Amino acid sequence: METTLRGVGVSHGVAIGEVRHMGTAVLEPPAKQIPAEEAEREQGRARQAVEAVAADLNARGQLAGGEAQAVLEAQAMIAQDPELMSDVDRRITVGSTAERAVYDAFSHYRELLAGAGEYMAGRVADLDDVRNRIVARLLGVPMPGVPDSDEPYVLIARDLAPADTALLDPALVLGFVTEEGGPTSHSAILARALGVPAVVALPGAGELVEGTVVAVDGSTGEIFVDPSAEKKEQLEAAAAERKAALAAATGPGATSDGHKVPLLANVGGPADVPAAVEAGAEGVGLFRTEFLFLDDSTKAPSEEKQVDAYRTVLEAFPEGRVVVRVLDAGADKPLDFLTPADEPNPALGVRGLRSLLDHPDVLRTQLTALAKAAEGLPVYLEVMAPMVADRADAKAFADACREAGLQAKFGAMVEIPSAALRARSILQEVEFLSLGTNDLAQYAFAADRQVGAVSRLQDPWQPALLDLVSLSAEAARAEGKSCGVCGEAASDPLLACVLTGLGVTSLSMGAASIPYVRATLGKYTLAQCERAASAARAADSAEEARKAAQAVLSGE
């Protein structure tokens, strides 16, 4: 009998296939004592396993490339964390086996993160994955991970670690469903980059019986269990219609009556550029430069290395717009040379622009590198600061850009509610705004963007979030300046129409989403988008907002 479940759709498309569950986690190693004379050997075993897992994660990253590479390299850094290894060595010294010492050391750190309720709690899944891989190697058992199968399937998991998501084979994994996670989790972002339909935050996903046929709609978040032949036909017809619409939609982003809305790409480095160009991106709306800094958490990359990376991206968009975000370190992206190690809540501490203003040499080097990278190129370079709270922040950043001799537009990201509320004041110092809807939602609703239990508050359709977007766009319009969206909200085709109706002047997203947004936006007039935006803001919940906008655009 067909039943319908609903999670959060995070990657477009429809997948129909049999359920396969993620491999089970590593069992807890037995707690047994070893003689003191074996401690050195066990410490050696532990170090070898850690290095092997770190090398494997780095190798997976090299194969995956792009944003996935940066995520996996960050996981490798977790595996080799000196404090964790010191704890492992200490536990072995007092009698633990290598595998038990690793398990206990990581579990202790896990409890600290999970129990503190901090932003870093969102990285518990990554920590668990690293621990399980090391313990599995020490025990000589298969790694937990994607199941072996000769036939295509829909993957079900409690959560997916980046190491698993990054190397999913779309020919075999038709789509995936997780119990945890949210629309801005690592797995969701990587799923969109792969073009794999995905639904997250689905309670009870793990109870789906192995081999059951399900249909996954990554656009609506619906899961149809044992779908009827009629339902399969409906979904397949809808998927075919979407595919045809994508093929027919080409050229710059615009509404059906010609109102231009540039569609830009979010990139993490040179490896992401080919997909952006192929998707027809009109430029880059968010160049996340922090991935360049994650190669070595102990020091900033040289000016020469930065120039090379930046120039590669700038050269790919001659006479296009490239918006570069300066280093956004802190919270889930700690860097030893930049961010404090003892903050009780890193998400609310010294992160983003605050870190850079505390380390002006790092900011100066990055701005100088950007200036050199753009020399002689016809590209329209724009540089923005993350985590701007007020006019003073905006002025400090603009002053730093001018002192570095940067010939570019200077902008501010709106990720903190205060910036949206005082956007017109901030625009006295900078030339454009860019809305980071992921963090803006996190701070507006006090809802960690990595915690599945509060994913409804991370839904970009929340009317309160749309109000903050509207405030920012209205301020930019009043000042005759631009206001784009570079958060994951822009990748939702229907929401892209609403954002356009709110007055947003450009949309930036993962390359895989650009065709969907272009095709949908081109179906409606600006007036229709404005009416949909008004209807969404008048709603009282994210679900009601989505339905209200859909009703307006479908003429109901």
Query: Distances in Å between the alpha carbon of 439 and those of 347, 415, 444, 552?
Result: 10, 5, 8, 28
The catalytically annotated residue of 12, 401, 483, 486 is 486
| Residue found under tokens 């390359």 | 511
Look at the chain and count its residues: 556
CA count, 13 A, side-chain hemisphere, 412: 34
Which residues have C-beta within 8 Å of that of residue 61, sequence separation ≥ 6?
68, 69, 70, 71, 72, 73, 76, 166
Q: Are the C-beta atoms of residues 138 and 106 closer than 8 Å to each other?
A: no
- Nearest Cα neighbor of 189 from 88, 345, 338, 64 is 64
Q: Does the annotation mark 12 as catalytic?
A: no
Which residues have C-beta within 8 Å of that of residue 166, sequence separation ≥ 6?
60, 61, 64, 68, 69, 71, 72, 190
Q: Are the C-beta atoms of residues 497 and 524 closer than 8 Å to each other?
A: yes
- Nearest Cα neighbor of 47 from 57, 58, 39, 35 is 39
Which residues have C-beta within 8 Å of that of residue 472, sequence separation ≥ 6?
414, 419, 420, 423, 433, 435, 483
How far apart (Å, rounded) are the C-alpha atoms in residues 181 and 494? Answer: 22
How far apart (Å, rounded) are the C-alpha atoms in residues 69 and 261? Answer: 31
How far apart (Å, rounded) are the C-alpha atoms in residues 156 and 544? Answer: 28
Beta bridge partners of 20: 155
CA count, 13 A, side-chain hemisphere, 13: 21
Give CA torsion, residues 172, 291, 484, 381, to 10 deg.
Answer: -120
How far apart (Å, rounded) are the C-alpha atoms in residues 478 and 428? Answer: 11
Phi, psi of 333 (to 5 degrees): -125, 60
Question: Residue 88: exposed, middle, or buried by beta-carbon count in 10 A (0-12, 13-18, 19+)?
Answer: buried
Q: Are the C-beta atoms of residues 184 and 440 closer than 8 Å to each other?
A: no
Q: Are the C-beta atoms of residues 205 and 7 closer than 8 Å to each other?
A: yes
How far apart (Å, rounded) are the C-alpha atoms in residues 54 and 75? Answer: 8
Residue 489: both structure tokens together? 């909200």
The catalytically annotated residue of 12, 186, 401, 529 is 186
Task: Specify the pairing of strand 213-217 against strand 222-225.
Answer: antiparallel
How far apart (Å, rounded) are the C-alpha atoms in residues 425 and 427? Answer: 5
Say what angle helices 186-194 and 66-79 make with each other, to 10 degrees: 150
How far apart (Å, rounded) are the C-alpha atoms in residues 48 and 388? Answer: 43
Q: Does the annotation mark 486 as catalytic?
A: yes
| Residue found under tokens 């609703």 | 445
As annotated, the active-site residues are 186, 486
